[in-house]
Amino acid sequence: MSKAFPIPLNALRAIEIVARRGALAPAAEELGVTVGAVSQHLRRAEERLGMELFARTPQGLRPLPALAEVLPQLSAGFAALQGGLSTLTGAQDGVINVTVGSVFASRWLIWRVHKFSDRHRGLEVRLRVTAEMLDLTQPDIDCAIRYGDGDWSGINASLIGGQDYQPVCAPEFLQRWKSLDDLSRVPVIEDRTSMLDWPAWLSDMGRDPATKLTGPVYSDASLAFDAAISGQGLFLAADMMSADPVSDGRLLRPFAHPFKGELGYYLATAKGRRDSPKLALFRAWLAEEVPASACGYVNQLASKQS
């Protein structure tokens, strides 16, 4: 009787990881073997299949077209195996592991996650806060909340919010300028990690998108938020992220003019992995909580547009 697989399952897993990550070391770490062992897996698999799977380039190992075509199926298959094993063993049924960026974690989620825990007693949300795009097929990650266009390889992504954005500032900062015409002469806080677009917002306001903006520069979005709250300048922020400081009066939306961009916050999972019951609960809670929290107080200072 012929074997179900022409190559061992461990070798197939090594191929899938290397194809995704472009290097031997991540596969070695995940499989608990040496880099040399992974290299042997790949070499023997290519011999048994009678074809080359990878191009060896200065940038790392790149899957050749035949492997690249089936890689989504391989990734989905291993994600399904991991999900099935977790269901079978009941591993960490009481924990949902979420990887998330610092702004979403510190400006929105951390202030609300207790509502989810209160509603679903015995289910703990553990946050892994990082700017890295972590591998969502890892068994210790249930989902991610990512900002972008939702088009990520090997990922299923559903929009949860955060598309609207506009400038915010501290109440005392309003004393430093009289109208939008002063924008080039007042401090504008720059967050170098931000994907929000000042030119798009200015164009939507009927203003020159090439207006030169200067002010404090930060490479951390949370610090840029704090700089705005402390009165250092105007700051372009997603309405979803600024809702709380706007509601409690620490920030204002001086133009009351949100712009809907093409990017947003997405709940992301590995393609091929079905929602576990705990993830389904978390997804449903986000769908309810995001709209409920997005409003803030509407600023009525529309006269600043003139």
Percent of the chain scored above 70 by pLDDT? 90
Given the candidates 3.40.50.10610, 1.25.40.10, 1.10.10.10, 1.20.140.10, the CATH classification of the domain at 9-89 is: 1.10.10.10
Q: What is the CATH number of domain 95-162+263-293?
A: 3.40.190.10
pLDDT-derived band at 270, boundaries 50, 70, 90: confident
Confidence of residue 181 (pLDDT cuts 50, 70, 90): confident
Q: How does DSSP classify residue 16?
A: H
Distance CA 218, CA 104 (A): 17
Of 70-79, 241-250, 266-275, 291-300, which has the strongest mean pLDDT?
Answer: 241-250
Q: What is the structure's pLDDT at 99?
A: 94
254 near 169, Cβ under 8 Å?
yes
pLDDT category, 140, cuts 50, 70, 90?
A: confident
Q: Do domains 9-89 and 164-259+296-305 have the same CATH topology?
A: no
Q: Minimum mean pLDDT among 97-106, 126-135, 196-205: which range?
A: 126-135
Exposure of 70 in the CB half-sphere (CA atoms within 13 A): 10
Q: Chain-wide mean pLDDT for the chain?
A: 86
pLDDT at 300: 35
Q: Give the domain ranges of the chain.
A: 9-89, 95-162+263-293, 164-259+296-305
**Is 169 a residue whose pLDDT tops 90?**
yes
Cα–Cα distance, 252 to 177 (Å, whole number): 14
pTM, to two decimals:
0.71
Walk across the sheet containing 259-260 and list its strands. Answer: 235-238, 164-168, 259-260
CB-based contacts of 298, cutoff 8 Å, min separation 6: 253, 256
In whole angstroms, give the CA distance from residue 149 to residue 89: 35
The percentage of the chain sitting over the pLDDT mark of 90, rounded to a whole number, equals 56
Q: CATH topology for 164-259+296-305?
A: D-Maltodextrin-Binding Protein; domain 2 (3.40.190)
Distance CA 210, CA 200 (A): 10
Span 247-266, average pLDDT: 94
Where does 68-163 show beta strands of DSSP type E? 95-100, 124-129, 143-148, 155-161
Q: Is the pLDDT of residue 306 over 50?
A: no
Place of tokens 């070391």: 25
Pairing of strands 264-270, 143-148: antiparallel
Q: Over 80: is that where the pLDDT of 68 sits?
A: yes
